[in-house]
Amino acid sequence: MSTFRALVLHEEGGRVVPRLESVDEARLPAGDVTVAVEYSALNYKDGMILEGQGRLVRQYPHVPGIDFAGTVERSDSPEFKPGDPVFLTGWRVGEVRWGGYAEKARVPAAFLVRRPAGLSARQAMAIGTAGLTAMLAVIALERHGLTPAGGAVANEVLVTGAAGGVGSIAVALLSALGYRVVAATGRPELREYLTGLGAAELLERAALAEKPTRPLDRERWAGAVDAVGGNTLATVLTQLRYRASVAACGLAGGSDLPASVIPFLLRGINLLGIDSVMCPKAERIAAWSRLARDLPLGQLEQISQLVPLAEVPQLAPRILKGEVRGRIIVNVAG
Ligand SMILES: NC(=O)c1ccc[n+]([C@@H]2O[C@H](COP(=O)([O-])OP(=O)(O)OC[C@H]3O[C@@H](n4cnc5c(N)ncnc54)[C@H](OP(=O)(O)O)[C@@H]3O)[C@@H](O)[C@H]2O)c1
């Protein structure tokens, strides 16, 4: 009988309890590809799952981990063969089926992306769901007319929740693409980190956090990537330049949207929804090749830190409180 090590969540007395366990391979879910997992990651949603929030997991015992990277061990699909380097983000893996906080994962071949040469498993997880989301946001802004035009003030792009996972990758990407990036953060002590990623200016999170009192404010942003939602997103809508767009990615500051339709009607602005979870495979592959081309991979060293699987449960409340900087890579074998 073959076993593998996994972080397993149990529901006990109404609480979600994590335990590192040895799991029989026969318990892996159905799927045509079995992957030997090397690295996973900690995303905001992993934090919610580990803390039992949002009723994202309906069946326990459960193996969380919405991202993983590794090597194909067994494949019943013609698309992959043993030894192929692969990774996975989203598709509700780690939520409605077992995920990447385990030495083995079994999934449908359609969920896997072949890892491009030049991108290590560790780098793929330093990017992960958060980085894919940032890239999808940038692509959506570009489709709606955003261009760098030499990083002039007229092309200032705002990133909210800038020191988090989505935010850090968005700052690095947009700056590498030539935009003047303004990083909104509640952690001014991370100035050096954010300017190191290419932010030209920091904006206090509080400056965007109040419910807007008027429908139109001074036009400032040529585009925005918003990981925060709530009053912050509502405020951004009032400050977008004529015909500019904001890509709404997250809800770290709230899921409501106390906004007015006036900026849509008088400034022709766009509110672009970003979903990385069920995003079609062709669009993901295109986004990953953009990431491999446009994200300075060297910056992933600054953005990410590696932690052993055993440390993940204690980091979960911290990511939900906005205390994690950049990306956490999980060393599944560690
Ligand atoms: N749409 C999708 O497909 C998709 C994919 C991935 C993530 N998301 C969502 O995007 C958001 C960010 O995910 P992540 O993995 O980057 O999480 P994260 O690393 O925790 O980043 C969130 C950042 O938001 C800021 N923040 C936290 N609490 C806040 C509050 N109460 N008010 C204002 N700002 C706050 C913090 O940045 P500062 O310290 O710099 O202020 C924090 O680092 C989450 O809501 C997540 O669910 C969506």
- Tell me how far apart the terminal alpha carbons of the chain are, to the nearest angstrom: 23
For residue 103, the SS3 value is coil
**How many angstroms separate the CA atoms of 246 and 269, rounded?**
8
Other CB atoms within 10 Å distance of the CB of residue 43: 27
Is pLDDT above 60 for 151? no
Note the pTM of the prediction, 2 decimals.
0.96
Atom 11, ligand 1: which residue's CA is nearest? Answer: 250
To test the ligand 1 pocket, which listed residue (91, 93, 159, 166) has its Cβ within 8 A of the most ligand atoms?
166
Across 295-309, average pLDDT? 96
Question: Is the confidence at residue 321, as pLDDT, over 70?
Answer: yes
- State the closest ligand 1 atom to the C-alpha of 90, by its place in the atom list counted from 1: 3
Q: How confident is the model at residue 118 (pLDDT cuts 50, 70, 90)?
A: confident
Q: Which atom of ligand 1 is nearest to the CA of 45?
A: 47
145 pLDDT more than 80: yes
Q: What is the pLDDT of residue 216?
A: 98
pLDDT for the residue 149: 76
Confidence class for position 160, pLDDT limits 50, 70, 90? very high
Q: For residue 309, report the distance from its CA to the centre of ligand 1, in Å.
A: 22
Average pLDDT value over all residues in the chain: 96
| Mean pLDDT of all residues in 286-300 | 95
Site residues for ligand 1, CB cut-off 6 Å: 43-45, 129-130, 133, 161-167, 185-187, 205, 227-228, 232, 249-253, 274-277, 319, 322, 324
CA 228 – ligand 1 centroid, Å: 6
Tokens, residue 129: 């769901």
Do residues 87 and 69 make contact, with C-beta atoms less than 8 angstroms apart? Answer: yes
8-state DSSP, 54? T
The pLDDT of residue 116: 87
- Note the pLDDT of residue 299: 96
Burial of 138 (0-12, 13-18, 19+ CB in 10 A): buried
Over range 37-45, report the average pLDDT: 97
Q: Tell me the three state secondary structure of residue 71.
A: strand
For the CA atoms of 271, 277, 280, 281, the dihedral, rounded to the nearest 10 degrees, stands at 140
Is 60 exceeded by the pLDDT of residue 150? no
Q: Is the model's pLDDT at 274 over the cut of 90?
A: yes
Which atom, in ligand 1's list, is nearest to the CA of 194? 40
CA distance 99 to 50: 12
pLDDT at 110: 96
Kindly state the tokens that stand for 95: 């939520």
Average pLDDT over residues 106-110: 97
